[in-house]
Structures are given as structure tokens and as C-alpha cells.
A and B are shown apart, each in its own frame.
Chain A
Amino acid sequence: MKEPYWTTREYVFAAMISVSLLLVASIEIPFTLPLRIPGLTNSVNGLFGSFFVTIGLLRLKKSGSLLLITGIYALVCLSISPIIFGFVLFGGLFAEVICTLLFQGYSGKVAPVCGAVLYEMGMFPAAMVLSYFFLPDRYSHMAIWIFVAAEAAILTTSLIGALMGLKVAKELARAGRLRLEE
């Protein structure tokens, strides 16, 4: 019998990472969204989201892991809003394509960090398109440097989160809960 690409354990782990992402977003987003500073929500979410995504990718390792985690997360977000579903899936797809082309999977330490950061950065442009529909007067005249500054902030926070994830993954490996290298 042909071995399935993902094992039960991997599906369960991806589901648990999605629950963690949803949990953190449900606490953080209500505080940051009303402030309406471009990129603030994504920057704060990047710090926590990339932490979990990095650990998830370090555990799953296979090509398509990021799409699996973000796909499950996006499908859950579909019951909140189709727009959230859209930009979460866009971010996941964008990061997955780049990481597959560059690394062919998530072995090592660079690929998971890269995947997590690209996922957070990829969500922002899609979220900006949505913001344009909410406040076209405000976003149509938005200077390009604001967009660049927001992306830089997301890059910084998600990189910090991903590096923290890497650090915690090492502790998990020492505790025998996570296998870092094949």
C-alpha cells in the first residue's frame, strides 16, 4: 500500500498550530485593528504568528507544510470572513511557492524562518487591497513609503518571532519533544 504523503501525526500537528494561530489572532486583532495604523495588525500578528509557523515548519519539514498549516487556518477563517480566508491563503501560497523554489522543503533552519517571514509579509499587500475598499479616500492617496515602512515593520517583527520560534524549537528538541534534524 502506498504511504500517504502526510501522516496522521502531521495532520494533527498542523491542526494544533492552526489552533494556536487562531487563538493568538483572536486576542491580538481586537486591540490593534481599531487603531487603523497601516501594517500595525500584521506587525503584531507577525511576532506571534511566525513563532508558531516556524515551530510548525521545523517539525513538519516536507514541501507543502506551510500551505497545509495556512490552508487549514484559512478554511477556519472562512467561517469568519471570506476576505480573511483570501489573504491568509494568499500569504501561505506566496511563501510556499518561494520556499519550494528556493529550498524544496523545510529542512534546516533557514527555510522555516524564511517561510514564516514571507507568509507574514505576503499577507499584507492582500490586506491592503481590502483596506482600500473600506476607506478608499484614505488609502488611494497613501504614500508608497508608508507601505514600505509597514512591510519593514512586519519583516522585523516576524523575523524576531521566527528567531524566537527557532530558539524554543531547540529547547523542545532538548526536551525530546521535537526532532530538528533527520
Chain B
Amino acid sequence: MFPQQDRRWTWIHRLHPFTKMAVGIGFSFLALFMNNPWSLSLIQAFLIAVGWMAGLRISVNHLIAASAFLIGFILLTFSAGSTATHAVVYTLRLVVLISATPIFAQTTSPQDLTRSLSSLSLPQGVLMALVLVWRFFPMMRKDMLVIRQAAHLRGIDQGPWMQRIFRGTLIPLIFCAMDYTERLSLALELRGFSPDALRTSRWIPKAQWTDLLFSLSAIICSVVSVLLQWRLR
């Protein structure tokens, strides 16, 4: 979700964020209406190929965990009264849905996405808020771990569960959020930032011939999977 800045950039990384977003959203919606395992497998194969070309690799531990989750999901679906084919279809649909957009998000830096969104008529403040969310999510996640460790040391995690959650985690977390708000707002105001001020210079990503090539291959993949669905029904 939050790509590392030092990752090697490939041509997939350099595609326009809206092209990747459109393909991700398109595949997600297409998967919702597909009930043929071959059609869904084709879409998933396309996504795996894109991930491979972008240099995204999955560790053995994650692969084992994902396989265990998927086997569990197939068994649960099968036990809910579905046939084996249906169980496979639902699982493949889930895999496409949970991998389509994140694969494209992994290859798009938050800065590029925000630059692209700035070409839309979204308020500048919302764009700034988006950058802050992407920037501060990992920091606040670390803070939350510290908060939980502190709660453990102070013995707050011994009481009733509501007390543990609220006193031990949520209340310190909201204080942490207020703290960041104060510091960030002061820093931005000191630098003369105004949400409605016009930007004198900014770079907005533009679509290139690789975007056309990528979109065409995604469309071909979608058409073939729709044909498979229709022919093999």
C-alpha cells in the first residue's frame, strides 16, 4: 500500500497513475460479474505478470500464509453449501479483488498519485491531507505499537476489554493525533501554506505511448476473459 522510495523503477512504475487505477478498478468490477474459473484465472494471470514485470516479489512466508488463507476460504465456502466449482470461483474472485488495486498501488508513489489527482478539481487541502495520510500512517502505526507496549508495562491491559482498548490504546492514540495536528499545522502555517492559494509550479504526470500499450493489453485480456465466460457457460 505504501511503496518504498528506494524500490527499482520499471516501466510499470512509470505508467500514468490513472491508467493503472482504471485497469485496477475495471478488473475488480469485471471479476464481480465473472463466474467462470478460466476467465478469472486469466485476469489473475495478467495481474501476476504485471506484478512480476514491476519487480514485486512475495516472500515464502507470505506465500505460505496466503495459501493457507485461500485453502481455508475454499473449505469455508464449500462447507457453506456451495459446489466445488463455486468455491473455486468465489476464491478466485476474492484473489482478483484483493490483488488488482494493491498491485497497481504498490507501483505508484503517493507523490505521483497526488500529482495526478491535482489535475482534477479536488480542493488543494484535500490533496495535502492525502499526502499527510500516506506519510503519517506508518509513523502512527509505530506510535501505536509503543502505546500498546506502554499500556502493557503500566498494567492497563489487565482490566476489562473495553478499558484495555479505550484507556490503553484509543485515548493515547487520539492524543497522539492531536499532537501531530498541532505540530504539522504550525509548521505549515509558518511556511505560509494556504489550502486555497494558487500553485506557481507543479508537475502533473502525462499519459505516454506505454499507457496506450498497457491499456490495450488490459482490454484484450478483459475481452478474452468475457469471451471465455460466454463460450464456456
Contacts and interface: CB of A to CB of B under 8 A. Distances in A.
Interface of A: 2, 4, 6-9, 11-20, 22-24, 26, 34, 36, 48, 51-52, 55, 68, 71-72, 75-76, 78-83, 133-135, 137-138, 164, 168, 171-172, 177-178
A26 B137 CA distance: 11
A6 B170 contact: no
Given A9-B185, A23-B137, A48-B170, A71 B126 contact: yes
Interface in B6-55: 21, 24-25, 28-29, 32-33
A8 B185 contact: yes
Interface in B129-160: 129-130, 132-134, 136-137, 140-141, 144
Contacts of A71: 126
A59 B181 CA distance: 12
B98 A81 contact: yes
B1, B123, B133, B188: residue with the most chain A Cβ atoms closer than 10 Å: B133
Contact of B177 (A9, A19, A48): A19
Interface of B: 1, 21, 24-25, 28-29, 32-33, 69, 72-73, 76-77, 80-82, 86, 90, 93-94, 97-98, 100-102, 105, 108, 113, 117, 123, 125-126, 128-130, 132-134, 136-137, 140-141, 144, 165-166, 170-171, 173-175, 177-178, 180-181, 184-185, 188-189, 193-196
Contacts, number: 150
A36 B77 CA distance: 10
A41 to B, nearest CB: 15
Nearest to B178: A177
Top 3 A-B pairs, shortest CB-CB distance: A79-B105, A15-B129, A11-B125
Given A4-B196, A15-B132, A15-B136, A81 B126 contact: no
B195 A80 contact: no
B97 A83 contact: yes
A141 B41 CA distance: 28
Does more than half of chain A's interface fall in helix, strand or loop, or is it mixed? helix
Given A18-B129, A72-B126, A82 B136 contact: no
A8 to B, nearest CB: 5
Contacts of B102: 79-81
B86 A76 contact: no
Given A12-B185, A18-B129, A48-B170, 17 more contacts: A2-B196, A6-B125, A9-B181, A9-B185, A11-B125, A12-B181, A20-B140, A20-B173, A22-B137, A72-B129, A72-B133, A83-B28, A133-B33, A134-B90, A164-B170, A172-B174, A177-B178
A19 B136 CA distance: 7
B50 to A, nearest CB: 15
B137 A82 contact: no
22 contacts: A4-B196, A8-B188, A8-B194, A12-B132, A12-B181, A12-B188, A16-B136, A16-B181, A19-B132, A19-B177, A51-B166, A75-B130, A76-B130, A78-B101, A80-B102, A80-B105, A81-B98, A83-B97, A135-B77, A135-B80, A137-B86, A164-B166
B177 A17 contact: yes
A19 B137 contact: yes
Contacts of B80: 135, 137-138
A99 B170 CA distance: 26
B101 A79 contact: yes
Nearest to A4: B196
A82 B28 contact: yes
